[in-house]
Amino acid sequence: MSTRDWSIQEIARLAGTTSRTLRHYDDIGLLTPSRIAHNGYRHYDQAALVRLQRILLLRELGLGLPQIGEVLGTSPEGAAEASALETHLAYLREERNRLARQIASVESTINALKAGESLMAENMFDGFDHQHKDEVEQRWGKKAYADSDRWWRGMTDVERAEWQQLVSDLGRDWIAAAETGATPESDEAQALAQRHVDWLTGVPGTPASAPGGDTKAYVIGLGEMYVADPRFGANYATADGSTRGAEFVRDALRIYAEANL
């Protein structure tokens, strides 16, 4: 096995994360550096890189950091890491196939519109709602999807428009705060975090709305997902096109959750 290791700055750049995030993982015992150099810099060996890859994959599945710690804590070491990664790989391939179906269905719609042809409704939604249902049920259970779906379908058109406007306003205000240089712990960011949590707890079926649900872990996990999953991070994209906005939301939500939930 290779004896080389990488500095925290190198790993942050390669993994598309930040040194601050890696230090936080160390603080909570999720990812311990393999050594600390004489200058105090953290370094990571090959085993640590494998563990970080698994952490990032689990984040993309929507797990919060406490849940990731539990998963990794029960995983055997050594060669069994490959077996665990095979499970992740199967999920990624499934996701790739779903995205390929979405691309094909959208391309088909575009071509039909340009050619003035009739749309084939049975082909337009391949890879969309049914996968969303599966994803929600996988992460939070069948009851979570059923409750949220019943809530959404029970709304009037006006109520749906008002809810969508609320979400749009929240996203706009998050981006504005990030672009004006607000810090995650500022009063402005924490007020936005409270609005965000109020919004989450108002959606039936989410862990935030369920009595006795682990709202803190759910909120922190969602914040991590906003950075890990481009589908969600796009809602908080700043003008420079980076993940800075999503990282700002994640950090503000974590601070709020740890202080208030």
CATH number reported for the structural domain that contains residue 184 in this entry: 1.10.490
Residue 211 confidence (pLDDT): 63
pLDDT value, residue 169: 83
Residue type, position 21, single letter: T
Q: What is the average pLDDT value for the chain, to the nearest integer?
A: 77
pLDDT value of residue 124: 46
pLDDT digits (tens, 9 = 90+) for 80-90: 566 666 766 66
* pLDDT bracket for residue 120 (50, 70, 90): low
CATH of the domain at 67: 1.10.1660.10
Per the listing, tokens 């890696």 go with 22
With beta carbons less than 8 A apart as the criterion, state whether 163 and 153 touch.
Answer: no
Instruction: Give the range of the structural domain holding residue 48, as residue numbers without chain letter.
Output: 1-75
Question: Is a pLDDT exceeding 60 seen at residue 5?
Answer: yes
CA separation for the pair 139, 144 (Å, rounded): 9
Given 58, 75, 92, which residue is the final one in a domain? 75
The half-sphere exposure of 66 on its side-chain side, counting CA atoms within 13 A, is 10
Do the domain assignments include residue 125?
Answer: no
**CB-count burial class (<10 Å; 0-12, 13-18, 19+) for 236:** buried
Is residue 85 included in any domain, yes or no?
Answer: no
Same domain, 59 and 150: no
Q: Of 31, 58, 75, which residue constitutes the final position of a domain?
A: 75
pTM: 0.47
Domain termination site, one of 75, 93, 119? 75
Residues 151 and 254 in one domain: yes
Number of domains in the chain: 2
pLDDT value for 125:
47
